[in-house]
Amino acid sequence: MSTAPPAAAGGFARAGEPGGRERAPSGAGAADDAVVRVQDVHYGIAGHTIFAGLSLGVRRGSITAVMGPSGTGKTTLLRLIMGQAQADYGELRVFGENVARLPRERLYALRQRVGLLFQNGALLTDLSVFENVAFPVREHARLPEPVLRELVLMKLQAVGLRGAAELMPSELSGGMARRVALARAIVMDPEVLIYDEPFVGLDPISMGVICRLIQSLNQTLGITSIVVSHDVHEIGMIAHYSYLLSGGRVVAEGTPAQLTAASGEVVRQFMSGSPDGPVPFHYPAGDYFRQLIERAR
Protein backbone atom coordinates (compact mmCIF):
# COMPACT_ATOMS: atom_id res chain seq x y z
CA MET A 1 0.00 0.00 0.00
CA SER A 2 1.29 3.45 -0.87
CA THR A 3 0.56 6.37 1.37
CA ALA A 4 -1.92 8.71 -0.29
CA PRO A 5 -1.07 12.43 -0.37
CA PRO A 6 -3.23 14.55 1.95
CA ALA A 7 -5.46 15.84 -0.83
CA ALA A 8 -6.32 12.31 -1.90
CA ALA A 9 -6.72 10.73 1.51
CA GLY A 10 -10.12 9.44 2.51
CA GLY A 11 -10.56 6.79 -0.17
CA PHE A 12 -11.64 3.21 0.39
CA ALA A 13 -9.98 -0.12 -0.26
CA ARG A 14 -10.70 -1.28 -3.77
CA ALA A 15 -12.62 -4.44 -4.60
CA GLY A 16 -10.48 -7.52 -4.30
CA GLU A 17 -7.86 -6.05 -1.94
CA PRO A 18 -6.49 -8.71 0.41
CA GLY A 19 -8.08 -8.72 3.84
CA GLY A 20 -10.83 -6.28 2.93
CA ARG A 21 -14.46 -6.30 1.88
CA GLU A 22 -15.67 -5.36 -1.58
CA ARG A 23 -15.41 -1.58 -1.55
CA ALA A 24 -16.05 1.28 -3.90
CA PRO A 25 -13.01 3.08 -5.29
CA SER A 26 -12.03 6.53 -4.10
CA GLY A 27 -13.71 9.54 -5.65
CA ALA A 28 -17.23 10.80 -6.14
CA GLY A 29 -18.78 7.35 -6.06
CA ALA A 30 -17.25 6.60 -2.67
CA ALA A 31 -18.28 10.02 -1.37
CA ASP A 32 -21.93 9.16 -2.03
CA ASP A 33 -21.57 6.23 0.39
CA ALA A 34 -19.65 8.20 3.03
CA VAL A 35 -21.52 8.84 6.27
CA VAL A 36 -18.67 11.06 7.47
CA ARG A 37 -16.45 13.01 5.10
CA VAL A 38 -13.53 15.13 6.36
CA GLN A 39 -11.92 17.20 3.62
CA ASP A 40 -8.69 19.23 3.94
CA VAL A 41 -9.34 20.23 7.56
CA HIS A 42 -6.99 22.60 9.36
CA TYR A 43 -7.38 23.21 13.07
CA GLY A 44 -5.24 24.58 15.86
CA ILE A 45 -5.48 25.52 19.52
CA ALA A 46 -3.57 28.44 21.07
CA GLY A 47 -1.14 28.56 18.16
CA HIS A 48 -0.51 24.81 18.25
CA THR A 49 -1.44 23.03 15.01
CA ILE A 50 -3.56 19.91 15.48
CA PHE A 51 -4.61 19.23 11.88
CA ALA A 52 -2.91 20.48 8.74
CA GLY A 53 -4.89 19.19 5.79
CA LEU A 54 -6.68 16.19 7.30
CA SER A 55 -8.88 14.22 4.89
CA LEU A 56 -10.69 10.94 5.46
CA GLY A 57 -14.04 9.22 4.94
CA VAL A 58 -16.18 6.71 6.79
CA ARG A 59 -18.23 4.38 4.63
CA ARG A 60 -21.77 3.39 5.65
CA GLY A 61 -21.95 0.06 7.46
CA SER A 62 -18.20 -0.22 8.01
CA ILE A 63 -16.00 -0.37 11.09
CA THR A 64 -13.49 2.41 10.49
CA ALA A 65 -10.54 2.90 12.81
CA VAL A 66 -8.72 6.17 13.47
CA MET A 67 -5.33 5.48 15.00
CA GLY A 68 -2.25 7.44 15.91
CA PRO A 69 0.19 8.22 18.71
CA SER A 70 -1.04 10.13 21.75
CA GLY A 71 -1.53 13.82 21.04
CA THR A 72 -2.32 13.45 17.34
CA GLY A 73 -5.85 14.81 17.76
CA LYS A 74 -7.96 11.66 17.58
CA THR A 75 -10.45 12.82 20.22
CA THR A 76 -10.30 16.36 18.80
CA LEU A 77 -11.46 14.92 15.48
CA LEU A 78 -14.55 13.54 17.19
CA ARG A 79 -15.31 16.99 18.65
CA LEU A 80 -15.11 18.47 15.16
CA ILE A 81 -17.35 15.75 13.69
CA MET A 82 -19.98 16.36 16.40
CA GLY A 83 -19.87 20.15 16.00
CA GLN A 84 -18.41 20.83 19.44
CA ALA A 85 -15.58 22.70 17.73
CA GLN A 86 -15.19 24.22 14.27
CA ALA A 87 -12.31 23.81 11.88
CA ASP A 88 -10.25 26.85 10.93
CA TYR A 89 -10.38 25.70 7.33
CA GLY A 90 -11.84 22.77 5.42
CA GLU A 91 -15.12 20.90 5.55
CA LEU A 92 -16.69 18.18 7.70
CA ARG A 93 -19.86 16.53 6.46
CA VAL A 94 -21.95 14.08 8.47
CA PHE A 95 -24.93 12.44 6.72
CA GLY A 96 -24.12 14.79 3.84
CA GLU A 97 -24.57 17.95 5.93
CA ASN A 98 -21.86 20.53 6.56
CA VAL A 99 -21.68 20.41 10.36
CA ALA A 100 -20.19 23.90 10.74
CA ARG A 101 -23.16 25.50 8.94
CA LEU A 102 -25.97 23.74 10.77
CA PRO A 103 -28.22 25.84 13.03
CA ARG A 104 -28.42 24.66 16.63
CA GLU A 105 -31.70 22.74 16.23
CA ARG A 106 -30.47 20.75 13.23
CA LEU A 107 -27.11 20.10 14.88
CA TYR A 108 -28.89 18.67 17.93
CA ALA A 109 -31.07 16.54 15.64
CA LEU A 110 -27.96 15.24 13.88
CA ARG A 111 -26.34 14.34 17.21
CA GLN A 112 -29.35 12.21 18.10
CA ARG A 113 -28.47 10.00 15.12
CA VAL A 114 -25.03 9.34 16.60
CA GLY A 115 -24.15 7.27 19.68
CA LEU A 116 -20.93 7.93 21.60
CA LEU A 117 -19.05 5.62 23.92
CA PHE A 118 -16.98 8.00 26.03
CA GLN A 119 -13.35 7.21 26.78
CA ASN A 120 -14.00 6.71 30.50
CA GLY A 121 -17.58 5.43 30.21
CA ALA A 122 -18.94 8.59 31.89
CA LEU A 123 -21.70 6.82 33.82
CA LEU A 124 -23.81 8.96 36.13
CA THR A 125 -22.69 7.77 39.55
CA ASP A 126 -25.96 8.51 41.38
CA LEU A 127 -28.11 6.52 38.96
CA SER A 128 -28.48 2.76 38.70
CA VAL A 129 -27.39 0.83 35.62
CA PHE A 130 -31.00 0.77 34.42
CA GLU A 131 -31.43 4.54 34.85
CA ASN A 132 -28.09 5.28 33.18
CA VAL A 133 -29.24 3.45 30.07
CA ALA A 134 -32.73 4.97 30.27
CA PHE A 135 -31.39 8.52 30.66
CA PRO A 136 -31.14 9.47 26.93
CA VAL A 137 -34.63 8.11 26.28
CA ARG A 138 -36.14 10.05 29.17
CA GLU A 139 -34.45 13.20 27.84
CA HIS A 140 -35.40 12.88 24.18
CA ALA A 141 -38.56 10.76 24.01
CA ARG A 142 -41.81 10.23 25.87
CA LEU A 143 -42.33 6.51 26.14
CA PRO A 144 -44.74 4.71 28.45
CA GLU A 145 -42.83 3.21 31.36
CA PRO A 146 -43.48 -0.44 30.31
CA VAL A 147 -42.13 0.29 26.81
CA LEU A 148 -39.11 2.12 28.25
CA ARG A 149 -38.39 -0.79 30.58
CA GLU A 150 -38.55 -3.29 27.72
CA LEU A 151 -36.24 -1.13 25.60
CA VAL A 152 -33.62 -0.69 28.33
CA LEU A 153 -33.62 -4.38 29.26
CA MET A 154 -33.24 -5.27 25.58
CA LYS A 155 -30.13 -3.08 25.27
CA LEU A 156 -28.67 -4.46 28.49
CA GLN A 157 -29.32 -7.97 27.20
CA ALA A 158 -27.40 -7.08 24.04
CA VAL A 159 -24.28 -6.28 26.10
CA GLY A 160 -24.78 -9.21 28.48
CA LEU A 161 -25.72 -7.17 31.57
CA ARG A 162 -29.48 -7.49 31.98
CA GLY A 163 -28.87 -9.08 35.38
CA ALA A 164 -26.96 -5.98 36.52
CA ALA A 165 -29.84 -3.55 35.88
CA GLU A 166 -30.29 -2.59 39.54
CA LEU A 167 -26.59 -2.25 40.40
CA MET A 168 -24.92 1.12 40.94
CA PRO A 169 -21.85 2.19 38.90
CA SER A 170 -19.65 1.82 42.01
CA GLU A 171 -20.53 -1.88 42.06
CA LEU A 172 -19.31 -2.52 38.51
CA SER A 173 -15.92 -3.61 37.25
CA GLY A 174 -14.20 -1.49 34.60
CA GLY A 175 -15.26 -3.82 31.82
CA MET A 176 -18.87 -3.94 33.03
CA ALA A 177 -19.02 -0.14 33.28
CA ARG A 178 -17.81 0.14 29.68
CA ARG A 179 -20.52 -2.27 28.54
CA VAL A 180 -23.23 -0.32 30.40
CA ALA A 181 -21.99 2.83 28.68
CA LEU A 182 -22.23 0.98 25.37
CA ALA A 183 -25.84 -0.03 26.12
CA ARG A 184 -26.59 3.64 26.81
CA ALA A 185 -24.90 4.65 23.53
CA ILE A 186 -27.16 2.34 21.49
CA VAL A 187 -30.43 2.84 23.37
CA MET A 188 -31.62 5.49 20.87
CA ASP A 189 -30.81 3.19 17.92
CA PRO A 190 -28.14 5.45 16.37
CA GLU A 191 -27.03 5.18 12.76
CA VAL A 192 -23.41 5.88 13.67
CA LEU A 193 -21.66 4.65 16.80
CA ILE A 194 -18.41 6.31 17.88
CA TYR A 195 -16.02 4.58 20.28
CA ASP A 196 -13.44 6.87 21.91
CA GLU A 197 -10.56 4.67 23.13
CA PRO A 198 -12.86 1.74 24.07
CA PHE A 199 -10.01 -0.54 25.22
CA VAL A 200 -8.24 1.77 27.67
CA GLY A 201 -7.81 0.27 31.14
CA LEU A 202 -9.43 -3.07 30.31
CA ASP A 203 -8.03 -6.52 31.00
CA PRO A 204 -7.57 -8.91 28.02
CA ILE A 205 -10.90 -10.67 28.62
CA SER A 206 -12.83 -7.40 28.78
CA MET A 207 -11.04 -6.21 25.63
CA GLY A 208 -12.16 -9.37 23.88
CA VAL A 209 -15.74 -8.82 25.01
CA ILE A 210 -15.75 -5.21 23.74
CA CYS A 211 -14.23 -6.29 20.40
CA ARG A 212 -16.95 -8.90 19.97
CA LEU A 213 -19.67 -6.38 20.85
CA ILE A 214 -18.34 -3.85 18.33
CA GLN A 215 -18.43 -6.50 15.61
CA SER A 216 -21.83 -7.92 16.54
CA LEU A 217 -23.50 -4.49 16.79
CA ASN A 218 -22.05 -3.51 13.44
CA GLN A 219 -23.32 -6.71 11.80
CA THR A 220 -26.71 -7.21 13.46
CA LEU A 221 -27.83 -3.56 13.65
CA GLY A 222 -26.13 -2.30 10.51
CA ILE A 223 -24.46 0.48 12.45
CA THR A 224 -21.58 2.47 11.00
CA SER A 225 -18.79 2.32 13.59
CA ILE A 226 -15.89 4.73 14.14
CA VAL A 227 -13.28 3.42 16.57
CA VAL A 228 -10.65 5.84 17.86
CA SER A 229 -7.82 3.90 19.41
CA HIS A 230 -4.09 3.27 19.56
CA ASP A 231 -4.46 -0.45 20.31
CA VAL A 232 -3.03 -1.99 17.15
CA HIS A 233 -3.85 -5.63 17.91
CA GLU A 234 -7.51 -5.08 18.79
CA ILE A 235 -8.09 -2.77 15.83
CA GLY A 236 -6.52 -5.35 13.54
CA MET A 237 -9.15 -7.87 14.67
CA ILE A 238 -12.23 -5.77 13.95
CA ALA A 239 -11.60 -2.87 11.55
CA HIS A 240 -12.53 -2.99 7.90
CA TYR A 241 -10.48 0.12 7.14
CA SER A 242 -8.02 2.19 9.18
CA TYR A 243 -6.45 5.63 9.09
CA LEU A 244 -3.17 6.45 10.82
CA LEU A 245 -2.75 10.10 11.84
CA SER A 246 0.53 11.88 12.46
CA GLY A 247 1.68 15.45 12.03
CA GLY A 248 -1.85 16.72 11.56
CA ARG A 249 -2.82 14.54 8.61
CA VAL A 250 -3.33 10.98 7.37
CA VAL A 251 0.06 9.33 6.82
CA ALA A 252 -1.31 5.89 5.93
CA GLU A 253 -4.66 4.23 5.28
CA GLY A 254 -5.99 0.85 4.29
CA THR A 255 -7.00 -2.51 5.70
CA PRO A 256 -5.18 -3.66 8.87
CA ALA A 257 -3.07 -6.00 6.73
CA GLN A 258 -2.08 -3.13 4.45
CA LEU A 259 -1.05 -0.92 7.35
CA THR A 260 1.05 -3.73 8.82
CA ALA A 261 2.85 -4.08 5.48
CA ALA A 262 3.30 -0.32 4.92
CA SER A 263 6.84 1.00 4.62
CA GLY A 264 6.66 4.53 6.06
CA GLU A 265 8.82 5.19 9.13
CA VAL A 266 5.96 6.59 11.22
CA VAL A 267 3.75 3.65 10.27
CA ARG A 268 6.43 1.08 11.10
CA GLN A 269 7.18 2.73 14.45
CA PHE A 270 3.51 2.88 15.45
CA MET A 271 2.53 -0.59 14.26
CA SER A 272 5.54 -2.19 15.95
CA GLY A 273 5.40 -0.08 19.12
CA SER A 274 9.05 0.92 18.79
CA PRO A 275 10.29 3.72 21.11
CA ASP A 276 12.76 4.86 18.44
CA GLY A 277 11.60 6.61 15.30
CA PRO A 278 10.19 9.86 13.93
CA VAL A 279 7.60 10.17 16.72
CA PRO A 280 9.64 11.75 19.55
CA PHE A 281 9.54 10.91 23.24
CA HIS A 282 10.05 14.54 24.36
CA TYR A 283 7.52 17.32 23.84
CA PRO A 284 9.21 20.20 21.93
CA ALA A 285 11.18 22.38 24.33
CA GLY A 286 14.12 24.75 24.41
CA ASP A 287 17.65 24.00 25.54
CA TYR A 288 17.51 22.06 28.83
CA PHE A 289 20.74 23.47 30.31
CA ARG A 290 19.80 27.06 29.46
CA GLN A 291 16.37 26.60 31.13
CA LEU A 292 18.00 25.28 34.32
CA ILE A 293 20.43 28.22 34.43
CA GLU A 294 17.65 30.76 33.89
CA ARG A 295 15.60 29.32 36.75
CA ALA A 296 18.67 29.32 39.02
CA ARG A 297 19.05 33.03 38.47
User: How high is the pLDDT of residue 158?
Assistant: 86
261 vs 158: which has the higher pLDDT = 158
| pLDDT at residue 3 greater than cutoff 60 | no
Is the pLDDT confidence value at 290 over 90?
no
Q: What angle is formed at CA 153 by the lines to CA 148 and CA 155, rounded to 5 degrees?
A: 100
Q: List, as one string, the DSSP characters of the chain.
A: -PPPPGGG-S--PPTT-TTS---PPSSHHHHHTEEEEEEEEEEEETTEEEEEEEEEEEETT-EEEEE-STTSSHHHHHHHHTTSS--SEEEEEETTEEGGG--HHHHHHHHTTEEEE-TT----TTS-HHHHHHHHHHHH----HHHHHHHHHHHHHHTT-GGGTT--GGGS-HHHHHHHHHHHHHTT--SEEEEESTTTT--HHHHHHHHHHHHHHHHHH--EEEEE---HHHHHHH-SEEEEEETTEEEEEE-HHHHHH---HHHHHHHHT-SSSSS-SSPP---HHHHHHHHH-
Please report the pLDDT score of residue 270 as a whole number.
59
Predicted local distance difference test score (pLDDT) of residue 91: 92
Segment 263-290 shows an average pLDDT of 60
Name the pLDDT band for 213 (thresholds 50, 70, 90): confident
- Segment 94-121 shows an average pLDDT of 88
pLDDT of residue 233: 79
Average pLDDT score over the chain: 79
Position 4 scores a pLDDT of 38
Query: Above 90 in pLDDT, residue 220?
Result: no
pLDDT per residue as tens digits for the range 15-71: 333 333 333 333 333 445 888 999 999 998 888 888 989 999 999 999 999 987 777
- Output 234 or 99, whichever has higher pLDDT: 99
Q: Which of 1-5, 141-145, 184-188 has the least mean pLDDT?
A: 1-5
Reply yes or no on whether the pLDDT at 143 is more than 80.
yes
Task: Give the pLDDT of residue 281.
Answer: 46
pLDDT at residue 39, as a whole number = 92
Q: What is the pLDDT of residue 94?
A: 92
The phi and psi torsions of 41 (rounded to 5 degrees) equal: -85, 130
